[in-house]
Chains A and B, each alone.
Chain A
Amino acid sequence: MKVLVAVKRVIDYNVKVRVKADNTGVETANVKMSMNPFDEIAVEEAIRLKEAGTAEEIVAVSMGPQQCQETIRTALAMGADRGVLVKTDDELQPLAVAKLMKAVVDEEQPGLIILGKQAIDDDSNQTGQMLAALLGWPQATFASKIELAGDKAKVTREVDGGLETIEINMPCIVTTDLRLNEPRYASLPNIMKAKKKPIDEKSPEDLGVDTTPRLTTLKVEEPPKREAGVIVEDVAQLVDKLRNEAGVI
C-alpha cells in the first residue's frame, strides 16, 4: 500500500509570533520555519506502517513556495521515500489545499492519507476533513491509535470527553493528534540520503485547480494584552485576595 502524508511549512512552534506594524499579517521575514508538529506525527506514523510491512511506499506532499522543499526533505530524512511539491507563491487556503491534494491523490492512488489535525499557523483544522469530502472517502480525525486490518481501519480518536473508536473503509483519511506517536529525529546519514531522494514539482495549473482564496484577510491585530497582576506573599494572602478582592471563591 502507498501512503501519502501532507507536510506544511510553518513558523517554528518556539517562535514568538509578532504582528506586522501595518496589520497585514504576521512577521515571517528571518523567522525560523519548521514542519508543522502534527505533520511530523503523520510522517512518523507512515514510517511505522512501513516498518511493520503494511505500507510499501511513503510520499510526502507539500504546497507553497520553493522553500517547502526543505519541509519535504525533512520528511524524506525521517524516512519518506519521495516527495511532491505543488509550487506556488499564491496564498493557499484549506479548501484550495484539499483540491490540490485531491489532484495529487488522483495521480498517486494511495490507500491511506495521513495529515496533521491542524497547522499551528492558521489553526484551521480543516484540510483532512475537506479532502475526505472531495474524495468521498471516510475520515478518522484526531487519531491516537491506528490499526489496519484488510480493507478496514480501526481508529481511536481523541474527543472532548475522552476516546472514541470508529471503523472506516479503506482507502481513508486519518488526521493525527498528539498522542499517536513520538516523531523520531532524522539521523545525519539519513539526512544525507534524503538529498538524493526524488521530489516531483508541479504547479496548481498542472493539476487544473483554481486556488483563488475565498476569505480575504482585512486585518491582523495583536490580541488584547493581559496586565500582569501582583505576587502574593503566601497561601493565606492568596486565599484572602481570591475571596475578598476578586470574589471568585
Chain B
Amino acid sequence: MSVLVISEHDNTELKEATLNVVTAAIALGSDVHVLVAGAGCAAVGEAAAKVAGVAKVLVADDAAYEYGLAEPMADLIKGLAADYSAVLAPATTSAKNIMPRVAALLDVAQISEITEVVSEDTFVRPIYAGNAMATVQSSDAIKIMTVRGTAFEKAAAEGGSAVVESVAAAGDPGISSFVGRELSKSERPELTSARVIISGGRGMQSGDNFPMLERIADKLGAAVGASRAAVDAGFVPNDYQVGQTGKIVAPDLYVAVGISGAIQHLAGMKDSKVIVAINKDEEAPIFQVADFGLVADLFKAVPELEEELGKVGL
C-alpha cells in the first residue's frame, strides 16, 4: 500500500516543511502520494508533482479547505486514509491541529513528531522535551504521524514528475469558520527554515533591546528567535519562541544571547550544527551545549559583534 503525505501550503506556494516529510515517507518503502487540500491551490499541486520521489498528487480544491480548518480537513483526510498504510504530516501548528482529529476518526493512535523511521511500524520520537527518545511500535492498520522536520533531509523540490489527480471535497460540517490572521511580517527568513538564527532570552531585559539582535540578523541573513522566558516576559510575540512548546529548529548556526539554557529551550535548538552562547553567567547551562561560549555582558558583546562582523565585510 502507498503512503500519503499531507502538504503544508498557503494555497499559492508549497511550504518546505512538506519536503522533509516526503523524505520520511520514502523511508517507509512504499509509493508516496501527496495531498494538496486548499482553495485555488492548483499551483501547489503542480509544485508537489515536481518533488523528487512523489508518485501521485491528490488535489482537493474547495472553499472548505481555504484556511485549513481542522473539521473539514479531518473529514477529507479520514475519507482518503483507507487506501493508505500511513498518513504523514509535518509537525507544524497546522498539521498538529488536524492530524489527531484524523487519528481519532479512524480509531487509531497518532505518533507525534517522529525523528526516525525504524521500520514500517516502528518509529523513534522524543519525549520529555527531548530528554529521552522513545522507540514505539504501532499495532494500528493505518499509521497516523507527524514528522519533526529537523530530523529528515529535504527531498529535492525538482526532478519528480508525479501524476496529478483531483479528488472530491468531503463537505464542510459547518461548525467552524475562519475570522482572520495576523501574521508577523518580516523580511527575514522563517525560523524553521533559516540557516542562521539569533535568539534572545530574559537577559535581553526588554523587547526594546531586540533591534540589537535584528541588526546582527540582517548581517547574517538570520531569523530572530526567543526563549520562552522572553516570550512570557512579553518582550516578543509567541511565534518567536524556540523550545519544547515553541518551534523546533536545527540551523547551521544558532546564537543564544542572554539565554540561560533551560531544558525547555534546549529541546528546541540542541540539534543545531553550531551553537554560540553569549551570557554573563559562566555557570549558565547553555554553555554545556555551546560549541563557542562567550562569557560577557550582552549589552557590550552584541554591539561589538555587529562591529566585528562589519570588519569582515558582513
Contacts and interface: CB of A to CB of B under 8 A. Distances in A.
B178 A166 contact: yes
B135 A217 contact: yes
A94 interface: yes
A215 B176 contact: no
B101 A26 contact: no
Contact of A232 (B74, B108, B180, B292): B292
Interface in A221-249: 221-223, 226, 228-232, 234-236, 238-239, 241-243, 246, 248-249
Contact of A220 (B127, B294, B309): B127
B308 to A, nearest CB: 4
B294 A234 contact: yes
Contacts, number: 265
Interface in A2-19: 11, 13, 16-17, 19
A160 B238 CA distance: 9
Contacts of B129: 17, 120, 123
B77 to A, nearest CB: 11
B94 A160 contact: yes
B305 A94 contact: no
B27 interface: no
A220 B97 contact: no
A108 interface: no
Given A166-B176, A229-B291, A235-B304, A178 B228 contact: yes
A171 to B, nearest CB: 10
B113 A235 contact: no
Contact of A218 (B100, B122, B139): B122
A134 interface: yes
- Give chain A's interface residue range (CB within 8 Å of chain B): 35 or more
B238 A248 contact: no
A71 interface: no
Interface in B120-171: 122, 126-140
A213 B97 CA distance: 22
B181 A162 contact: yes
A118 B69 CA distance: 19
Contact of A141 (B96, B180, B181): B96
Given A123-B127, A218-B135, A158 B111 contact: no
Interface string B220-260: 10000000100110000111010011010000110000000
Contact of A239 (B128, B140, B238, B312): B312
Of B134, B244, B305, B314, the most chain A CB neighbours within 10 A belong to B134
Contacts of A123: 112-113, 126-129, 244
Interface of A: 11, 13, 16-17, 19, 26, 38, 93-95, 98, 117-118, 120-134, 136-139, 141-142, 144, 154, 157-169, 177-179, 213-223, 226, 228-232, 234-236, 238-239, 241-243, 246, 248-249
Closest 9 CB pairs of A and B: A229-B291, A129-B100, A130-B104, A133-B104, A214-B109, A126-B100, A165-B179, A162-B183, A248-B253
Interface of B: 67, 69-71, 74, 92-94, 96-105, 107-113, 122, 126-140, 173, 175-184, 190, 192, 196, 220, 228, 231-232, 237-239, 241, 244-245, 247, 252-253, 263-264, 270, 273-276, 282, 287-296, 301, 304-305, 308-309, 311-312, 314
25 contacts: A95-B107, A95-B109, A123-B129, A126-B110, A129-B70, A132-B101, A142-B93, A160-B92, A160-B94, A161-B190, A164-B67, A214-B138, A215-B137, A220-B135, A221-B132, A228-B287, A228-B289, A231-B282, A231-B293, A232-B293, A234-B294, A235-B308, A239-B305, A243-B312, A248-B273
